[in-house]
C-alpha cells in the first residue's frame, strides 16, 4: 500500500477542478416523514473544507430543489464537474444510485464520491454499484479534500492511503478506517453562501425568533443506545468546537444572514458541562440578542445549568424520552429512568424553559401495554411539544442486528426494518400513532398551549388540515 501523500503545500489544478456536492430528492413513496428541508449542514462543512483547500465548489440541495433526473443531467453537462459528491441515507439510497447513474451517462469520466450516514454504515452496498467510484466513511472534511487532491492530480492510487475512504480494487472492496478530527476549530464555517438560503423556511417551531438557522457544534457520543449508531459516524468521544469558535459562527450568522434564532441540532448539547457554561456566559457577555433551542438527555441537566442556559437565551429543550416503561428504557440501552425524566421537566419549567420530547412506538420486546404506559407518561409530563414516532431500525445499530438475527421484522425497503410481533406490525403501529397523537394533543390543556403558541387562527387552520404527521425513529 503506497505511503500517504504529503499535501500540506499542494494546490489543486486550476483547469476543470469543479466539484459538485449534492443531496438527492426524497423518495416519492416511503413509510417515513422526512420533515421540512433544512440546509444540509454536513455537506456545507465539506464544501467549506474544499474551498479552503482551493477547489471550486458548487452545491445542489436536491432535497429542497427536487430537480428531475433530466435536470440533473443538464446541470452536469453545464458545469462539467470532475467530482460529484452525494450524501446518502438509507432512505435515499435508491435515489442516490439513480442520480449517480444519470451523472455517469452524461459524464463517464466524472468521479462519484458518496458519503453520509449510509456510506458510513454500509459502504459495501454502495460499492456494489459500478457508478460509485469512492465511498467516504465517517467525517468527510479531511477525507474528501485529500481524495479530491488525489483525483485532480491524476494519481488516484493515492486514495489507498486516505483514512475513511472505501473503493474497489481488483474486484475487492478496500476500506481504510476513518480517523476523527481532534481539533474541531480547524474546520471553517459551513459554506452557507453556496446555497440559496432565501428558499428555505428559516423558522424553528420551538422559538418565535425569525429568521432562524441550525448549527452543529459537537460530534461523537459517549452513550450506547441500541437504536442509534451515531458512534460509527462520529466516534464514541464527544468532540466540540471551542466556545469562542461557536460565538464567532453565531456572530457571522447574525451579521451575514440576519439570524435571530438558532437550533443546536447535536444530541447531547449539555454533555460537556464546563464548555456549555462557558458558551452561555459568552452569549450573555456578548449580548447576542438570540433565542435558541438544543437537544440533550434528561440525565445531563441540573438546576444550576438550566438557570444559566435560560439566561443565555435558551427557550426550549428537546429530550428523547423514548418510553414511559422502565423495562423498555433498559432494553434499548437508554439508561435513564422515568423519575429522571420528570425531574428534568420540572427543572425546565422552574427556569422558564419549554420542553419538547419524543417517544418511540414498536420497539423490540415492547407490548401494546408498554405503549399505553408511554402515552400515560406523556400526559403526565405535559410537554409543550410531543411526538410519537414509529420505530424503524437503522442499519448496523444494535437493535437492527438483533432483528436480523431473530427474524421478527418486516422490511420496509431494501434496508430499513420494522418490528413485527403477535400484537402489532408496522401498519397497526401507524394506527396507534394516530390515536396517541389525538389523545395527547386534543386534551384541553394541550389545546390551550397550542393556541397560546400558534394563535387561535393558525391553530384552527392546522385542525382543518389534519395536523398529524407520519414520523419515525430513524435519523
**DSSP letter for each residue of 241-263:** --HHHHHHHHHHHHHHH---EEE
Asked whether residue 6 is assigned to any structural domain, the reply reads no
What's the domain count of the chain?
2
Cβ neighbourhood burial of 314 (10 Å; 0-12, 13-18, 19+): buried
76 and 215 within one domain: no
133 and 249 within one domain: no
Asked whether residue 255 is assigned to any structural domain, the reply reads yes
Q: How many CA atoms lie within 13 A of 461 on its CB side?
A: 5
Residue 301, pLDDT score: 98
Given the C-alpha cell 396507534, which residue does it identify?
432
Residue 13, pLDDT score: 57
How does the average pLDDT of the chain come out, rounded? 90
Asked whether residue 436 is assigned to any structural domain, the reply reads yes
Q: Is the pLDDT of residue 10 over 60?
A: no
The domain containing residue 47 runs over which residues? 18-175
pLDDT grade, residue 5 (50/70/90)? very low
92 and 53 within one domain: yes
Q: What letters, b where the CB count within 10 A reaches 16 and e where it falls short, cover 74-97?
A: ebbeeeebbbbbbbbbbbbbebbb
Residue 429, pLDDT score: 96
Peptide bond into 73 cis (omega under 30): no
Residue 158, pLDDT score: 82
**Cell reading at 140:** 468527510
Asked whether residue 108 is assigned to any structural domain, the reply reads yes
Whole-prediction pTM? 0.91
pLDDT grade, residue 11 (50/70/90)? low
321 and 219 within one domain: yes
- The tens digit of pLDDT for each residue in 32-65 reads 555 678 999 999 999 999 999 999 999 999 999 9
| pLDDT-above-90 percentage for the chain | 80
* 252, 189 contact by CB (below 8 A): yes
- The tens digit of pLDDT for each residue in 139-187 reads 999 999 999 999 998 877 788 889 999 999 989 999 999 999 999 999 9
The CATH number linked to 59 is 3.40.50.280
The CATH number linked to 273 is 3.20.20.70
Q: How many CA atoms lie within 13 A of 387 on its CB side?
A: 17
283 and 237 within one domain: yes
Closest C-alpha to 61, from 211, 196, 263 = 196
213 and 152 within one domain: no
CA distance 125 to 132: 10
Q: Is the pLDDT of residue 326 over 90?
A: yes
Q: In this predicted model, which residue has the larger pLDDT, 27 or 420?
A: 420
Report phi then psi at 362, rounded to 5: 90, 35
> Mean per-residue pLDDT for 412-425?
94
Residue 39, pLDDT score: 95
Q: At a CB cut-off of 8 Å and minimum separation 6, what does 381 contact?
A: 321, 341, 342, 345, 355, 357
- The tens digit of pLDDT for each residue in 77-112 reads 999 999 999 999 998 999 999 999 999 999 999 999
- The tens digit of pLDDT for each residue in 229-280 reads 888 788 889 999 999 999 999 999 999 999 999 999 998 999 999 999 999 9
Q: Is the pLDDT of residue 467 over 50?
A: no
Closest C-alpha to 164, from 235, 238, 79, 230 = 235
* 409, 418 contact by CB (below 8 A): yes
**CA distances (Å), 438 to each of 84, 366, 382, in order?**
45, 21, 14
206 and 166 within one domain: no
pLDDT grade, residue 194 (50/70/90)? very high
Amino acid at each position: 500500500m503506497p505511503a500517504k501523500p504529503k499535501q500540506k503545500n499542494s494546490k489543486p489544478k486550476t483547469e476543470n477542478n469543479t466539484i459538485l456536492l449534492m443531496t438527492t430528492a426524497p423518495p416519492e413513496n416511503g413509510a417515513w416523514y422526512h420533515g421540512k428541508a433544512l440546509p444540509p449542514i454536513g455537506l456545507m462543512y465539506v464544501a467549506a473544507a474544499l474551498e479552503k483547500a482551493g477547489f471550486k465548489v458548487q452545491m445542489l440541495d436536491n432535497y429542497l430543489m427536487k430537480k428531475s433526473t433530466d435536470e440533473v443531467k443538464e446541470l452536469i453537462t453545464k458545469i462539467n464537474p470532475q467530482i460529484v459528491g452525494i450524501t446518502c441515507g438509507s432512505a435515499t439510497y435508491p435515489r442516490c444510485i439513480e442520480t449517480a447513474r444519470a451523472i455517469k451517462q452524461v459524464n463517464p469520466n466524472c468521479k462519484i464520491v458518496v458519503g453520509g450516514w449510509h456510506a458510513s454504515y454500509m459502504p459495501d452496498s454502495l460499492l456494489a454499484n459500478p457508478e460509485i467510484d469512492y465511498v467516504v466513511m465517517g467525517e468527510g472534511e479531511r477525507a474528501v479534500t485529500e481524495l479530491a487532491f488525489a483525483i485532480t492530480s491524476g494519481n488516484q492510487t493515492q486514495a489507498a492511503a486516505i483514512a475513511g475512504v472505501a473503493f474497489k480494487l481488483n474486484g475487492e472492496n478496500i476500506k481504510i478506517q476513518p480517523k476523527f478530527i481532534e481539533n474541531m476549530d480547524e474546520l471553517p464555517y459551513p459554506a452557507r453562501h453556496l446555497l440559496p438560503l432565501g428558499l428555505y423556511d428559516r423558522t424553528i417551531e420551538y422559538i418565535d425568533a425569525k429568521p432562524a438557522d441550525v448549527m452543529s457544534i459537537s460530534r461523537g457520543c459517549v452513550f450506547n443506545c441500541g437504536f442509534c449508531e451515531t458512534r460509527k459516524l462520529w466516534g464514541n468521544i464527544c468532540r466540540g468546537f471551542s466556545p469562542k469558535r461557536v460565538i464567532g459562527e453565531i456572530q457571522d450568522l447574525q451579521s451575514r444572514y440576519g439570524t435571530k434564532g438558532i437550533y443546536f441540532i447535536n444530541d447531547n448539547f449539555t454533555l460537556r458541562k464546563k464548555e456549555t457554561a462557558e458558551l452561555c456566559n459568552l452569549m450573555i457577555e456578548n449580548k447576542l440578542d438570540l433565542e435558541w433551542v438544543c437537544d440533550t438527555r434528561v440525565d445531563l441537566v441540573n438546576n444550576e445549568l438550566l438557570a444559566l442556559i435560560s439566561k443565555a437565551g435558551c427557550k426550549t429543550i428537546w429530550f428523547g424520552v423514548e418510553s414511559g416503561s422502565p423495562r423498555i428504557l433498559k432494553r434499548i440501552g437508554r439508561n435513564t429512568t422515568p423519575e429522571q425524566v420528570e425531574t428534568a421537566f420540572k427543572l425546565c419549567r422552574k427556569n422558564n424553559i419549554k420542553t419538547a420530547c419524543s417517544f418511540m412506538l414498536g420497539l423490540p420486546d415492547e407490548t401494546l401495554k408498554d405503549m399505553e404506559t408511554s402515552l400515560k407518561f406523556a400526559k403526565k409530563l405535559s410537554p409543550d411539544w410531543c411526538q410519537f414516532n414509529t420505530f424503524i431500525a437503522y442499519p448496523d445499530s444494535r437493535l437492527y442486528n438483533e432483528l436480523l438475527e431473530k427474524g421478527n421484522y418486516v422490511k420496509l425497503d431494501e434496508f430499513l426494518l420494522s418490528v413485527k410481533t403477535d400484537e402489532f406490525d408496522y401498519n397497526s403501529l401507524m394506527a396507534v400513532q394516530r390515536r396517541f397523537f389525538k389523545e395527547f394533543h386534543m386534551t384541553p390543556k394541550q389545546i390551550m398551549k397550542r393556541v397560546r403558541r400558534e394563535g387561535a387562527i393558525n391553530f384552527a387552520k392546522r385542525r382543518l388540515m389534519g395536523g398529524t404527521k407520519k414520523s419515525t425513529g430513524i435519523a
